[in-house]
Amino acid sequence: MNPVIVTICGVMLAIGAACVVARTERGQSMLDRVVAVDVIVAIVLASVALLSAYTMRIDVLPVLVVLALLGFVGSVTVSRFAAAESDEERRILTPEEAAAQRAERQRLAELDIAEEREGALTGEMPLIVSEGESSGPLEGSLEGAVDEGRSHGAGEDR
């Protein structure tokens, strides 16, 4: 095989690899990065095939098969897990967003600890209210009693 052709192919593969590495770094979602890694595996496959053709060696063919299987299984595995995530979970955070989330979690944890300490000092048990539940057994009972009185004819002569 002509060394000039091998050199041109090698340079093209190197340029492609550099572009893919840049895309991997700047990818906004998990799937962008998975596709970029899959392309890197394809570039490695092409490089090994180019080396095999240039040196006229066929003993590297099993390496090509293993790399192809590795790329396929890796892509299928990641896409299976990524399909179950929402768009917000799939997106990779910027360093600023990650720092803001950590600060918010820390602030909430400190607030919870302060509330628990305050409750321990006053001897109160913390009140845990789930979303959609009432905060106590009497909540809304007065309004309900007034409404029931109106509906059952309260205030009318019998």
Q: Map residue 91 onto helix, strand or coil.
A: strand
d(CA 63, CA 57): 12
Range list of β-strands (E), the chain: none
The C-alpha atoms of residue 87 and residue 72 are separated, in whole angstroms, by: 23
State how far the Cα of 148 lies from the Cα of 38, in Å rounded to an integer: 67
67 touches 44 (CB < 8 A): yes
Per-residue confidence band for 88, with pLDDT thresholds at 50, 70 and 90: low
| pLDDT (0 to 100) of residue 107 | 93
The burial class, CB within 10 Å (0-12 / 13-18 / 19+), for 142 is exposed
Q: What is the mean pLDDT of residues 119-143?
A: 55
pLDDT of residue 87: 65
Match 């098969």 to its residue by tokens.
65
pTM of this prediction? 0.52
pLDDT tens digit sequence for 14-73: 999 999 988 888 877 777 888 888 899 999 999 999 999 999 998 999 999 998 998 889
* 12 vs 32, higher pLDDT: 12
Higher pLDDT, 74 or 89: 74
Rounded-to-integer distance, Cα 46 and Cα 15, Å: 13
Give 29's DSSP letter.
Answer: B
In 10 A of CB 34, how many CB atoms? Answer: 19
